[in-house]
Chain A
Amino acid sequence: MGEELAPQRVTLPGPFAVGRYARKLEEEMRRRARVSLIGEVTGLSRSKAQAYFELRDAEGAIPCAIWLNDLEKLELPEQGLRDGTEVVIGGGPDYYRGGAQASPSFYFRATHIRLAGEGDLLARLEALRKQLRAEGLFELQGRLSRPLLPKTIGVVTAESGAARRDLLAGLERRGWRGTVIWAFAPVQDRHAAPAIAAAIQDLAARPEVEAIVVTRGGGSLADLWAFCDETLCRTVAMLRVPVISAVGHERDSTLIDDVAAVACSTPTHAAEATVPLDAAAARSSLERSLGILQRAASGAVGGRTPHLVSLARGPGRALGRERLALNQKTREMRAASERGLAERLGFQRRLATVVLERAARRAAGPEMERRREGLHRAAVALRAHEPERTLERGYALVEGEDGEPLATAAEARAAEVVKLRFADGRVRARPERDGGA
């Protein structure tokens, strides 16, 4: 027997009486294998005889039901079964064909429920970790460049919590007083992961935000489970702004730590990683360095009169003398270079850079200490090379009429007028045409 269904004119078996079909479906469903499932409880409600909920993870959900009789026998802890808990349920699919007064429905009929233990969560975490690693999502954030001195940072955390206070204290200790944009979000329940992901995206959408910190205090893996959420972690991995995570304590390892640019053990460490430069130390070092440079540049006031008199008597002779002195200085510098001084310094700097980059991935503190020292060293080294320093020691610099330095005898000979620049001023001189070496 067949039935033609207009307008497509499809021929199908039937029509069968629906009640009979429903009973067959029911039988078929109940024959399916019994399994155990793990997921998060959402939308929990109770009728007189049953409890209903959805078991859910990032990929999908199943409607579930358990007889209250069965539930009571399980002796779950008080408030154990509630929205947001991770549970393992045992049972199989069921179809209720309805009745004269009752609507039909599909459920996964649970007969056993237990709260997911650390082991269950760890196993799930490991599977997720493997998957995200295979997709290359662990490397993306690490490739972003992090600013040494951000001016604005975004922070996702609970409004009331020690993490917020600790982070602020860490930034203060860094001497950093830029702009913090707080994005407060729940950090532990079923609303946490989507709220955190939304907060991170909103912060990243603001062009002034240069780095984002995600932080909360310690807890059990179940407490921190929001930070292992697949969607949240995928969001972080794909972000173009570096994310610094500081979730839980040292021993806690959440999935967000794997995808973030930097994972820190405490909010204080997060402050250091977010503002790698110790602004307080760098500031005082710079001020010192700047003072030194300015003093060197302005030149020392010294008695150069006898030297000036001798120069006035014989500019040609003086020129020769100054050239000899400058040549001597050049030879000394070359000799130093040949002894490998420059190479050793260069090698040490390169080595320091490599070590610093490695250190930065763990804690930024030691790196910044080195950078601060480096900056100071740079200023001191600069000072040593200031021509003004050489002038202070009694050398003179030969300049053309236009103030451009004349570095060779030929240039000096060719000039109509030269200026001899001393630490305390300039003297005009006319080279003798036959003067020379």
Chain B
Amino acid sequence: MAESERDPSATVAPESYESAVERLEQIIDRLDSGQAGLRETLELCREGRDLVTYCAGELDEVGESLKELRLDELAAKLDQGQLETD
């Protein structure tokens, strides 16, 4: 059984939602090819589960409640902060 094409980045956290989904698709492609060996299959499944967990986490971050801020107020706060530290 071939043990090739093991991704060295497998344990690195994804940079973004996009890259997580992209990697997930790669994993499926590899699994679909039927060429993944036993160890690789185990690793890919673990990585796949981690990616799904990561995506869910990203969704949670924009799932609580809409926060509305005003640029002019943020700028005023910044100015005030600078004055206080001066």
A337 touches B34 (CB 8 A): yes
In the assembled complex, the CB of B39 is this many whole angstroms from the nearest CB of chain A, namely 6
In the assembled complex, the CB of B16 is this many whole angstroms from the nearest CB of chain A, namely 7
Task: Return 24 A-B CB contacts under 8 Å, by A number.
Answer: A172-B66, A177-B65, A178-B61, A178-B66, A180-B66, A180-B69, A184-B71, A184-B72, A203-B71, A275-B62, A277-B17, A282-B59, A286-B52, A330-B34, A337-B33, A342-B32, A342-B33, A345-B32, A346-B32, A382-B31, A382-B45, A384-B31, A405-B39, A408-B1
A405 and B58 alpha carbons, distance in the complex (Å): 33
| Range class of the B interface residue count | 35 or more
B64 touches A378 (CB 8 A): no
Task: Say if the beta carbon of B77 comes within 8 Å of chain A.
Answer: no
Task: Say if the beta carbon of A279 comes within 8 Å of chain B.
Answer: yes
Task: Say if the beta carbon of A196 comes within 8 Å of chain B.
Answer: no
A342 and B3 alpha carbons, distance in the complex (Å): 19
A381 touches B28 (CB 8 A): yes
Complex interface residues of chain A between 55 and 97 (CB less than 8 A to chain B): none
Residues from chain B with Cβ under 8 Å of A341 in the complex: 32
Complex interface residues of chain A between 179 and 203 (CB less than 8 A to chain B): 179-184, 199, 202-203
Residues from chain A with Cβ under 8 Å of B33 in the complex: 337, 342
B65 touches A286 (CB 8 A): no
Nearest-CB residue, chain A, relative to B75: A202
Task: Say if the beta carbon of B25 comes within 8 Å of chain A.
Answer: yes
A contacts with B, residue count (CB < 8 A):
60
Chain B, 34-68, contact with A by CB distance < 8 Å: what is the 0/1 string? 11011101101100110011011011011111111
B58 touches A149 (CB 8 A): yes
Nearest-CB residue, chain A, relative to B61: A151
Nearest-CB residue, chain B, relative to A174: B62
Residues from chain B with Cβ under 8 Å of A333 in the complex: 34
A2 and B56 alpha carbons, distance in the complex (Å): 88
Residues from chain A with Cβ under 8 Å of B1 in the complex: 330, 407-408
Residues from chain B with Cβ under 8 Å of A290 in the complex: 52-53, 56
A182 touches B55 (CB 8 A): no
Residues from chain A with Cβ under 8 Å of B3 in the complex: 407
In the assembled complex, the CB of B14 is this many whole angstroms from the nearest CB of chain A, namely 12
Chain A, 330-344, contact with B by CB distance < 8 Å: what is the 0/1 string? 100110110001100
In the assembled complex, the CB of A204 is this many whole angstroms from the nearest CB of chain B, namely 11
In the assembled complex, the CB of B53 is this many whole angstroms from the nearest CB of chain A, namely 7
Task: Say if the beta carbon of B18 comes within 8 Å of chain A.
Answer: yes
Task: Say if the beta carbon of B83 comes within 8 Å of chain A.
Answer: no
A374 touches B25 (CB 8 A): yes
Task: Say if the beta carbon of A245 comes within 8 Å of chain B.
Answer: no
B61 touches A375 (CB 8 A): no
A203 and B70 alpha carbons, distance in the complex (Å): 10
Residues from chain A with Cβ under 8 Å of B58 in the complex: 149
A381 touches B31 (CB 8 A): yes
Residues from chain A with Cβ under 8 Å of B68 in the complex: 179-180, 182
A286 touches B55 (CB 8 A): yes
Residues from chain A with Cβ under 8 Å of B61 in the complex: 151, 178
Nearest-CB residue, chain A, relative to B57: A286
Task: Say if the beta carbon of A117 comes within 8 Å of chain B.
Answer: no
B28 touches A382 (CB 8 A): yes
A397 touches B72 (CB 8 A): no
In the assembled complex, the CB of A399 is this many whole angstroms from the nearest CB of chain B, namely 10
Task: Say if the beta carbon of A28 comes within 8 Å of chain B.
Answer: no
